Amino acid sequence: SSPPGGPLPAVHTHCPYCALQCGTILSERDGAVTVEPSDFPVNQGALCRKGWTAPALLDAPDRLRHPLVRRADGVLRPASWDEALDTVADRVRALQAAHGRDAVAVFGGGGLTNEKAYLLGKFARVAMGTSLIDYNGRFCMSAAAVAGTAAFGTDRGLPFPVTDLDGAQAVLLAGANIAETMPPLLRHLDRAELIVVDPRRSRTADRAKLHLSPRPGTDLALALGLLHAAVTEGLCDDAYIAERTGGFDAAWRHAAAWWPERAEEVSGVPAGRQREAVRILARARHAYVLTGRGAEQHSKGADTVAAYINLALALGLPGRAGSGYGCLTGQGNGQGGREHGQKADQLPGYRRIDDPDARAHVAAVWGVDPRSLPGPGRPAVELLQSLGTGQGPRGLLVFGSNPAVSAPHSALVGERLAAADLLVVADFVPSETTHLADVVLPVAQWAEEEGTMTNLEGRLLRRRALRPPPPGVRTDLEVLRDLAVRLGQPPGRFPVEPREVFDELGRASRGGPADYSGISHRRLDAQETLHWPCPTDEHPGTPRLFLHRFAHPDGRARFAPVEHRDAAESPSARYPLIATTGRTLAHYQSGAQTRRVPELNAGVPEPVLEIHPDTAARARLADGMLARISSARGSAVARVRTVDSLRADTVFLPFHFPGAYRANLITNPAADPRSGMPEFKVAAVRVEPATGW
């Protein structure tokens, strides 16, 4: 509520949800928080309904306000901070003493601020000495990160400002339903001819000039067909390929067999449409290829994204003013979250953890011996599935994530979380993961603390506090410091002031691909527009990467020799359909936040199974019925909606819901060997009426 003396001043900040990070102005009067959009360039006065309703999160009735510890009777009950933190530290120490440093793992989130992501990585490697840290971004952007780094030498979601898209004449959107996931972005594509690749005729595809609807799991074959069409129709930019790239011949050796008619056989996308798509892109003066989760969330996700990058390179788009390739990151800090060391294989500055120079540099900033730093850990799926099995960690500390809902094969993950000797969850509202925890730590959220985020264009943003956290709640930074001290670290090694943490993060990133060392809260508060890399105080930042050279030592981008392969599982007599999963406009990620916003939850209180009318009829399903969707891993339940905007061999399920509604009860954890990305987009299923509901 407002302090004595009247309302708090309005603050300019950003939406708590997706990677677009729309600019908002928050103000408070008589205890009620209101939001309005700012004219920040990515949203230019617009918000989606999630942004408009975000203030409700601040007053969620079941907000966590004191620590909880599971007692001998098996019930989570209130505890003091000292008791909760002592319990965590004692049990971490005991597990590590008995079973080694890797007995306890850490799991982070792509919504954490840069400061939190950075301090979490440092906490895991220094205070706990565990190699086992990874985060839920493994489920979102890891495939694009691998493909982008291989192609360009470094990976920044959009290597250009969003506003560059305003001048696009043609845009290929592969697996990105931005009309629902980040609606204000559509405004930037108003003048472009849109080509949308999606098995569903999504709201985005509805606005497209051309909709390509591949069978789920065949995007790679489709992208090879598109490259084939570009080459055989003489639409490639040969001068660009010669001057700015390498590896075309090897890539073409794979693509040469993928004439569009063959790609049609596999993907179902007519060859004529493939050729038309490439012609639209090639004749545009300014064109972009943008990928999203639809291209990435496969057991061949990195290769699939690489195939789209190959197409973009063949057309001469990346690194050309007014054209390009980009990955649309998903989570609020999907970009920054992957740069500061909460990934299993990375240190701050987006450096590899097995790089001796990076280890020496970061260890010096941290004031520790580089030999004491652990090596690479395990990617998220492997980490979660090995928890409590004796073949992996025995305890897990979770910050800003809800893997009981968001991880693939979530019934198994729920069992693993429950079987762990120690599960600690820091969050600001209860979730399906806090319900399984031994200790729950209530932390500040979004508009209650300061920090920075890095949006999908690599731009640094200030998240500002409108009001302090409620009594009894601490910030994640304070929690990490308090635990680190209990684990024997000097207090000064774990600062809690966001500005101080950010300055240290900058020093740790110096010289790395994502160099933040010239960025400061002071410059951001002075309204400077700063995209990384920004290596000095005087440096203006880098809104556009690759204009003159790519980040490989020879300055050239790399084509990737990639080959199509089938999804990890195919439809069978028992499971004849393909289920694919995704997001809806009203909800965000596991729904732990948006399901608490009355306006959002009232509109979409349960998952809707989209199914073709013919498929529904064969399964004895009709609109409004509850359906059971079963895969080899388990069953989920959803309300039926028949639509003719979906292939008859495919059903669609959103993944924001808990309990028996969890779409991830059916998803396949088969992981991409290059990136660790699981196969959220293809599961063989059968559907039938749900009885007993």
Binding site for ligand SF4 (CB under 6 A): 15, 17-18, 20-22, 43, 47-48, 50-51, 182-184
Closest contact distance (angstroms) between CB of 616 and ligand SF4 is 31
- Nearest residue (CB) to ligand SF4, 184 versus 294: 184
Closest contact distance (angstroms) between CB of 29 and ligand SF4 is 22
Closest contact distance (angstroms) between CB of 40 and ligand SF4 is 10
Q: List, in order, residues 6 or more apart from 100 with CB less than 8 Å away.
A: none
- Nearest residue (CB) to ligand SF4, 46 versus 231: 46
Maximum alpha-carbon separation in the chain: 73
The amino acid occupying position 358 is A
- Nearest residue (CB) to ligand SF4, 11 versus 648: 11
Closest contact distance (angstroms) between CB of 332 and ligand SF4 is 7
Contact 294, 210 (CB under 8 A): no
DSSP 455-484: -TTSBEEEE--SSPPPTT-B-HHHHHHHHH
Closest contact distance (angstroms) between CB of 540 and ligand SF4 is 25
DSSP 495-516: ---HHHHHHHHHHHHTTSSS--
Closest contact distance (angstroms) between CB of 463 and ligand SF4 is 12
Closest contact distance (angstroms) between CB of 657 and ligand SF4 is 18
Residue at shortest CB range from ligand SF4: 51
Residue with tokens 């010669």: 242
- Nearest residue (CB) to ligand SF4, 24 versus 675: 24
Q: Collapsing DSSP states into helix, strand and coil, what is residue 596? A: helix
Q: List, in order, residues 6 or more apart from 482 with CB less than 8 Å away.
A: 81, 85, 474
Residue 635 phi, psi dihedral angles, 5° rounding: -130, 145
What is the distance between the alpha carbons of residues 161 and 624, in angstroms, rounded to a whole number? 43
- Nearest residue (CB) to ligand SF4, 225 versus 332: 332
Closest contact distance (angstroms) between CB of 587 and ligand SF4 is 10
Q: List, in order, residues 6 or more apart from 664 with CB less than 8 Å away.
A: 405, 406, 407, 408, 409, 410, 413, 581, 655, 680
- Nearest residue (CB) to ligand SF4, 337 versus 535: 337
Contact 181, 59 (CB under 8 A): no
Closest contact distance (angstroms) between CB of 166 and ligand SF4 is 17
Q: 178 is written with which tokens?
A: 């931005």
Closest contact distance (angstroms) between CB of 551 and ligand SF4 is 28
- Nearest residue (CB) to ligand SF4, 182 versus 501: 182
- Nearest residue (CB) to ligand SF4, 15 versus 638: 15
- Among 379, 444, 378, 387, CA closest to 412: 387
Residue 670 phi, psi dihedral angles, 5° rounding: -50, 125
HEC readout, 339-372? CCCCCCCEECCCEECCCHHHHHHHHHHHCCCHHH
Q: Measured at the alpha carbon of residue 298, what is the angle toward residues 295 and 300, in degrees to the nearest 5? A: 95
- Nearest residue (CB) to ligand SF4, 19 versus 577: 19
- Nearest residue (CB) to ligand SF4, 19 versus 397: 19
